[in-house]
Each structure stands twice: as C-alpha cells, then as structure tokens.
Copies of this chain bind each other. A is one copy, B any other.
Amino acid sequence: MSGNKEAEEGLVLAPKFDADGLVTCIATDAATGELLMVAHMNAEALRRTVETGEAWYFSRSRKALWKKGESSGHSQRVTEMRVDCDQDAIWIKVEQQGPGACHTGRRSCFYRAVPLGQTGAVTLEFRDAEKTFNPADTYGKPG
C-alpha cells in the first residue's frame, strides 16, 4: 500500500503529527453526543490517554502536557477513541466529570451560534450558554 493507502486502510496507529508535533482531538459526551471541546495532543498525551483511559492534552499556549481536570477536577474518562482517515485527528467519547468541560464555566466550549446568511460583520448569539460552574471558584483566580 502507498503511504496514504496505508494510513487510510491500515491497522497501525501512525498519527500524522503537524509541524508542532500535534494532532487535533475532538471530545464529545459519550452519553449525549454533544461536542464538548476541541484541543490538541502530542505523542505523549496520546500515549497516556490510550494507556490510562483518561484524557491528556497538550496546551499550545502553555506549551505543556496537561491532564484534563488536573486543576479543575473536571477530568474526562474515555469510553471510546477513534482516528480519522489520514490520522491527523483523534475523536474521543468521554464521560465528563464535574459540571463542565469549558474553562469559562460552561458544559461545552461551543456556547455561541454564528447566524447563517449574513454578509459583513457577524453578531454571535449565545446558545446553551448558561454557566454550570464558577471558574473563579474552580480555578482559584478572578474570572
């Protein structure tokens, strides 16, 4: 098989990391299917997630490996992991511990809708945006 064919039809996990050594990771709620967050994994985060069944990520801003929930307690137990055709994206279905996945205090990071059919500047609309926890309490710093 050619390189592409092997990546697409093969059974070897061979992630296609980008120039920064990362793949995109999509986390959805295992029970509801809701999209919770999009983050990144480096090889070590991926390895730890596979081995432990707990979600580990790599923070691009902090340039550091982090276990989801290490400061908030809102960890994610992975019930299923999948890889996409060209192996540059990982999908995990998770049991989200605690009230939410988003550092802003919401259950999901996707709490604003982009109305369609507009031209020019776009005004967002809050949707499913109620806060389920207070980030200031959870992270111990002003919100």
On whether the beta carbons of B84 and A110 are closer than 8 Å, the reply is yes
How many Å lie between the Cα of A72 and that of B111 in the bound state?
32
Copies of chain A in the complex: 2
Residue of B nearest to A46 (CB): B114
> Does A64 sit at the interface, judged by CB under 8 A?
no
Count residues on chain A whose CB falls below 8 Å from chain B CBs.
49
From 9 to 29 in chain A, residues with beta carbon under 8 angstroms from any chain B beta carbon are 9-13, 24, 26, 28
Q: Which of B33, B35, B121, B124 is within 8 Å of A26, CB to CB?
A: B35
Point out residues on A near B: beta carbons under 8 Å.
8-13, 24, 26, 28, 33-35, 37-38, 50-51, 53, 78, 80-86, 89-91, 102-104, 106, 109-114, 116-119, 121-127
